[in-house]
Amino acid sequence: MNHTITLPELVKLLSVATNSSEATAQQFLAEFFNTVSDALADGKNVRIKNIGTFALDGLKPGEIRFLPDSDLAEAVNHPFAFFEPVELDDDLTEEELAAADAKPAPVQESETEEVAGPKTETSASTDAAAVDTSDEAALPSEVEEHLLPEGDEDSETAQEQAEVIEVEKAEPSKAIDEPSHDDNNDSRPSSAQKKGLNPWLMFAAGLLAGVVVGYLLPAIKDGVSSLWMAAPYEFVEPNQPLLPAQDESTIPDIDKLEESRDSLDHSSANDTARQSAAATAVKPLESRPSSVTDTIGRNRFLTTMSRKYYGRYEFWVYIYEENASHLGDPDRIAPGTVVNIPPAGKYDINPDDPQSLRKAAIKAEEIYAPYQK
């Protein structure tokens, strides 16, 4: 580990690996590296099978970029071959990461010894001693966690040996606490599971909310629209007096109106009351109070009222006609203007009748005619 192999050592290793003499290996290495050096000095990139590519760095003169062959790179990286890039949760803060890093630090030494154990059972103590001084101790504890399950009984014996060594070294044993190590190992997957569950829970909650909204929204919409559409037909109790221009004594009594529905030959002193009574008798839709008032607002126009009271916006013309004396330009009615809403029967308003709609359109043209000049 972290030992520098010199050329004589390399010659020996190569002669063993290729079953050739050391002289051949030495000659080969000399020729090989001379050839590669010459090619690089000539400004050429060199690609060697099973070893990799030596490329001149165009940005830094004299620098060489070495791209190892994939097999060689994998062989070198084999201690970390288990790991894959992991996508982090958005809610994972830097503090939590730092805390996760800090936690396993005290048990590193014992763990590295555990890793070293299974490789050479007989020389576990020497390995462990070597590991202490090496950079291997800096390896993250996850490596050991991955390696530990592979180790069987041998790893346990090695672990015991490592513990004995630690005792011999008389190091403070606070950090190397085996039960706490197990606790760490046990708690880590559960926290990972917890973190893994969060997105699923959030997804499920979102789905549930979507379903609820999906069911409720049409129902609410239907309810609102039905109220909206039903308004002209089921408008029952106006809280404003009918025909405010008239004297209260002239307003027909509700009871009388009810009677008038039963008998069409109802005779009243007031002509207006008679008219409205007749209208209610003819059309069940207009059986209720025949005229109400409404106020023009910033977002409330004649068309809005027409839609509300008659079901179609086209019949605004009749509201206008009813109040033509004080309205003027239909597009410039001041907010706050109070208008009388005539009963539908007065102008034969029927939203289902195309003829009625056509009449309203003609009427609209007539109304606009003086203002378009």
Partner 1 sequence: MDNKTIVGTIAKKMGRESRDINALIEGLAQVLKERCGELDSVAIPGFGTFEPVKEDEKIVPDLVTHKRIMMPPAITLNFKPSTLLRKRINENDR
Residues numbered 107-136 forming contacts with partner 1, rule: CB under 8 A = 134-136
For the chain, the residue count is: 373
Binding mask 131-170 for partner 1 (x = CB under 8 A): ---xxx-xxx--x---------------------------
345 vs 205: CA distance, rounded Å: 53
- Residue whose CB is less far from partner 1, 23 or 204: 23
- Residue whose CB is less far from partner 1, 7 or 254: 7
Among 21, 27, 173, 226, binds partner 1 (CB under 8 A): 27
- Residue whose CB is less far from partner 1, 83 or 371: 83
User: Binding to partner 1 by residue 46, rule CB under 8 A?
Assistant: yes
Among 21, 23, 33, 244, binds partner 1 (CB under 8 A): 33
**Are 346 and 333 within 8 A, CB to CB?**
no
Shortest Cβ distance from residue 129 to partner 1 (Å)? 17
Q: Which residues inside 70-99 make contact with partner 1, applying CB under 8 A?
A: 71-73, 75-80, 83-88, 90, 92, 97
Among 21, 23, 39, 223, binds partner 1 (CB under 8 A): 39
Residue 21 belongs to what H/E stretch? Answer: none
Crossing angle between the packed helical segments 153-169 and 108-119, to the nearest 10 degrees = 130
Shortest Cβ distance from residue 43 to partner 1 (Å)? 6
- 330-334: Cβ within 8 A, 24+ apart: 330/302, 330/367, 330/368, 330/371, 331/371, 333/296, 333/301, 333/302, 334/296
Shortest Cβ distance from residue 126 to partner 1 (Å)? 15
134 vs 132: CA distance, rounded Å: 6
Shortest Cβ distance from residue 124 to partner 1 (Å)? 17
Q: Could you tell me the two tokens for 19? A: 């079953």
159 vs 153: CA distance, rounded Å: 10
Shortest Cβ distance from residue 327 to partner 1 (Å)? 58
User: Binding to partner 1 by residue 203, rule CB under 8 A?
Assistant: no
Shortest Cβ distance from residue 218 to partner 1 (Å)? 34
CA distances for 15 relative to 25, 32, 305, angstroms: 6, 15, 102
- Residue whose CB is less far from partner 1, 51 or 278: 51
Shortest Cβ distance from residue 142 to partner 1 (Å)? 8
User: Binding to partner 1 by residue 22, rule CB under 8 A?
Assistant: no
Residue 125 belongs to what H/E stretch? Answer: helix 124-133
241 vs 301: CA distance, rounded Å: 21
